[in-house]
Copies of this chain bind each other. A is one copy, B any other.
Amino acid sequence: MGSLEEPLNQLSAKELTAGIARGRFTVEEIIDACLAHITAREDTLGAWAYLDGEAALVQARDLDSGPVRGPLHGVPVGIKDVFDTFDMPTEMGSPIYTGHRPANDASVVAMLRAAGAVILGKTVTAEFAGMFPGKTVNPHDPARTPGGSSSGSAAAVADDMVPVALGSQTGGSVLRPASFCGVIGFKPSYGAISRVGLKFAAESLDTVGIFARSIDDVALVTDVFTGQALAAGGEVAQEPVIGFCRTFLWETAASETTAALEDAKARLEAAGATLTEVGMAEAFAGLAEARDRINAYERAHAMAFEWHHHRSDISDRLSVTLAQGFATPYDDYMGAIKFAENMRTGLDDLFGANDVLLVPCVPGVAPLGLESTGDPAFQGLWTILHVPTITLPTHQSDDGLPVGIQLVGRPRDDHHLLSVARWVMARAGAQ
C-alpha cells in the first residue's frame, strides 16, 4: 500500500475502485487523502456546507472491513445540500433549515451508499438551488463566482477534493458551475433519475446532475442510478454526426465562448466527425420567458410552507421570484407549460440527422464577483426542453480560465450522448 505516484485525491472513481480491487490502497487511505486536501484548501474555497471527517472515516473503515459492496466501493462523493441525508444536516443554503436533520436519504444518496460510495459531506448550494449564492469561490480565481446553484459540488470536484459530486439543475445549476470550474457536468434527461428526497425548486424542470473529471466516472455513477451498465459501453463505433448550433444566444456570447466553439468544431471535423450548421427556429427564443415563468410559479408553490411560516428568512432576491410566482395567473403558467411541450415536439426537426448538437454552454468565463452565480440562459434553454446535456472542460480563455463546450442529446438518448461525449472529450480539447 501507499507510495503512489499520484495523490489519491486526484484519482478518478474508476481508478480508485480499480486500486482497491487490486489491494493497492484502502478506502480509509482514500478518505484520509481527500480530507487532508480539503483541510488545506477549504478555508479558501468554501465548498462544503457540512463535513465530518471522523464520520467519513467510520464509513471508510466499515467498507474496508467487508466485501466489495458495489461498483462505487470506496469512492468519496460530495452531495449538494438540497438532497436529504439521514446522517448529516440538510440545510439547503437557507437559515430556515439550520441544523435540519431529515429522517432518510434521498434515493440517489441511498443508491450511492448501496453501491459502496462514501458520502463525504454536503456541498454548498445557493439558497434552495436558486440564485442567492453561498460561500464558495471559484478554484481558479477566488475573486470569481464558481457558478451556481451547485457551487460546492463543482468547486470540490475541480479542486480534487472528491472525484464525483451530485448537483441538481433547474435552469443551469449543473452545467454552468461545471463550465466555470473546469469539470464535466452532466444533466440527464428530465425524469431519468429518481428525485425522491430532493427539495424541489421547480418540479417540471428539476433534474439530478453529476460532476466528475472523467466521462468514465459520469458513466459509473449514471449506471448506479439507472441500475444498468448503460453508459459504460465506451466510445461510439463511428465518427459522430454533430449539429453545430449557435442558438439565438450566439451574439450575447463573449469571444472565449465563440472561440471555444469554433475551435471544437474545427478539431472534431479534423478528427473525422461530420459537422453541419443547424439553424434554430425563432420560436425557440420564447423558451427563455417560458422557463422564467414556470420557474417562478413552481418555486412559489414549492416553497408555500417557507413563504407562510419563515418569510423573513428568505433572501430578498428569492422573495422577489416567489412573489412573482404567486402572482402569476394559472393560465399564464399553463400557457408556458404548453408552449414548452409544443417546442419539445419540434426537437426531431431541430436535430435532423445529427446524433448530438454542439452548442455554447456559458456566455463566457466565470464573471468577477461573488454576488451573482452567472447567467443561466445558455443552459436553461435545454433544461426546459428536458433533453440530456453535458459540458466538457475542453477550453480555456487566454488568461487560463476554463470555458466548457456543451453537447446536447436527443430526448432520453442519454447513453448515446455519453458515448459521443467520450469521443469528443478525447479530441476537442484545445489545451
Contacts and interface: CB of A to CB of B under 8 A. Distances in A.
Interface stretch (A9-17, A51-59, A102-110): A102-110
Interface in A302-349: 302-309, 326, 328-331, 334, 337-338
The interface centre, meaning the residue of A86, A110, A194 with most chain B CB atoms within 10 A of its CB, is A194
B228 A191 contact: no
Given A194-B203, A228-B330, A305 B97 contact: no
B196 A200 contact: yes
Contacts of A301: 107, 111, 194, 196, 227
A255 interface: no
A39 to B, nearest CB: 30
A267 interface: no
A352 to B, nearest CB: 20
A228 to B, nearest CB: 4
Contacts of A109: 305
Given A302-B194, A305-B86, A334-B412, A326 B227 contact: yes
Interface band, chain A: 35 or more
The interface centre, meaning the residue of A230, A302, A326, A334 with most chain B CB atoms within 10 A of its CB, is A334
Contact of A196 (B106, B107, B302, B337): B302
Contacts of A97: 103
A304 B337 contact: no
Interface in A140-165: none
5 contacts: A104-B306, A104-B309, A108-B304, A110-B308, A194-B304
A102 B348 CA distance: 44
A197 interface: yes
Contacts of A305: 86, 104-107, 109-110, 197
B227 A308 contact: no
B412 A111 contact: no
Interface string A97-129: 100101111111111011000000000000000
A195 interface: yes
A308 to B, nearest CB: 5
Nearest to A332: B228
Contacts of A302: 107, 194, 196
Contacts of A334: 412
Interface string A124-142: 0000000000000000000
A256 interface: no
B308 A113 contact: yes
List 4 A-B pairs, minimum CB-CB distance, nearest first: A110-B304, A194-B301, A110-B305, A228-B330
